[in-house]
Structure 1
Amino acid sequence: MLRGKGAVVGTVAALAVALGAVVAGSVAVVRFVQTDAREAQPQAHRAVYDLTLDHGKSAGDILGLEGRMVVEWRGGPACDGYTSDQRVVTNSLDSGGHLSVSDVRLSSWEALDGNEFRFDRTEYLDGKLSMRESGIARREGGKVTLSEPDAEPQTLPGDVLFPSAFNFALTAAVQKGKSTFSRSLFDGTQSSPTVVTAFIGKPGEAPRDARSVKIKNRGDGAPLRGAKAWPIRMSYFDQGDDVQDGTPSFEMGFHMFPNGVMSKLSLDYDDVVLKGDLTQIEYFKPGGC
Structure 2
Amino acid sequence: MRQRGLTGSRGLLVGAAVVAIALAAMLVWAAKTRSAAPALAMQMHRAVYDLSIDAMKSMGDTDAVSGRMVVEWRGGPRCEGYISDQRVVTNLGDGNGGTTTSDIRLSSWESLDGNEFRFDRTEYTDGKVTARVSGHAFRNGGHVHLEQQGKAPETLSKEVLFPTAFNLALLKAAADGKGVFAAPLFDGTQDGPTAITAFIGTAGDAPIDARKVRIKNRGTADALSSVHAWPVHMSYFDKGNDEQDGTPSFEMGFRMFPNGVMSSLVMHYDDVVLNGELSQIEYFKPGSC
TM-score, normalising length: structure 2: 0.85
Q: 1:116 to 1:13 in 2, by over 3 A?
A: same
Structure 2 residue aligned with 1:229: 229
The question of 1:181 aligning with 2:186 is answered no
Shift of residue 93 of structure 1? Answer: 0.4
Structure 2 residue aligned with 1:80: 80
Paired letter, 1:10: L
Shift of residue 15 of structure 1? Answer: 4.9
Structure 2 residue aligned with 1:116: 116
Shift of residue 39 of structure 1? Answer: 7.7
Q: 1:130 to 1:244 in 2, by over 3 A?
A: closer
Q: 1:129 to 1:241 in 2, by over 3 A?
A: closer
Q: Which moved more, 1:39-48 or 1:154-163?
A: 39-48
Shift of residue 96 of structure 1? Answer: 4.5
Paired letter, 1:100: T
Structure 2 residue aligned with 1:137: 137
Q: Which moved more, 1:216-225 or 1:251-260?
A: 216-225
In the TM superposition, 1:187-202 aligns within 5 A as: 187-202=187-202
Aligned with 1:247: secondary structure?
A: coil
Structure 2 residue aligned with 1:147: 147
In the TM superposition, 1:40-55 aligns within 5 A as: 41-55=41-55
Shift of residue 56 of structure 1? Answer: 5.5
TM-score, normalising length: structure 1: 0.85
Structure 2 residue aligned with 1:281: 281
Runs of 5+ unmatched residues, structure 1 = 17-34
Shift of residue 259 of structure 1? Answer: 1.1
Q: 1:181 to 1:57 in 2, by over 3 A?
A: same
Distance 1:79 1:223 in 2: 26
1:21-66 deviation per Cα after TM superposition (whole angstroms, max 9, x unaligned)? xxxxxxxxxxxxxx9xx98644110000000011265653321011
1:76-130 deviation per Cα after TM superposition (whole angstroms, max 9, x unaligned)? 1111100111001111102344310111100000001111100000011011111
Structure 1 residue aligned with 2:13: 10
Q: 1:220 to 1:39 in 2, by over 3 A?
A: closer
Distance 1:62 1:56 in 2: 9
Structure 2 residue aligned with 1:25: none
Shift of residue 74 of structure 1? Answer: 1.6
Aligned with 1:178: secondary structure?
A: coil
In the TM superposition, 1:202-241 aligns within 5 A as: 202-210=202-210, 212-219=212-219, 223-241=223-241
Aligned with 1:134: secondary structure?
A: strand
Paired letter, 1:217: N
Shift of residue 286 of structure 1? Answer: 1.7
Distance 1:158 1:7 in 2: 35
Confirm or deny: 8 A CA contact 1:222 1:259 kept in the other structure. no
Q: 1:110 to 1:206 in 2, by over 3 A?
A: same
Shift of residue 172 of structure 1? Answer: 1.6
1:133-156 deviation per Cα after TM superposition (whole angstroms, max 9, x unaligned)? 000001111111111222210111
Q: 1:39 to 1:217 in 2, by over 3 A?
A: closer
Q: 1:231 to 1:203 in 2, by over 3 A?
A: same
Q: 1:150 to 1:57 in 2, by over 3 A?
A: closer
1:220-272 deviation per Cα after TM superposition (whole angstroms, max 9, x unaligned)? 55530122111100000011345463310011111000111111111112112
Aligned with 2:260: secondary structure?
A: coil
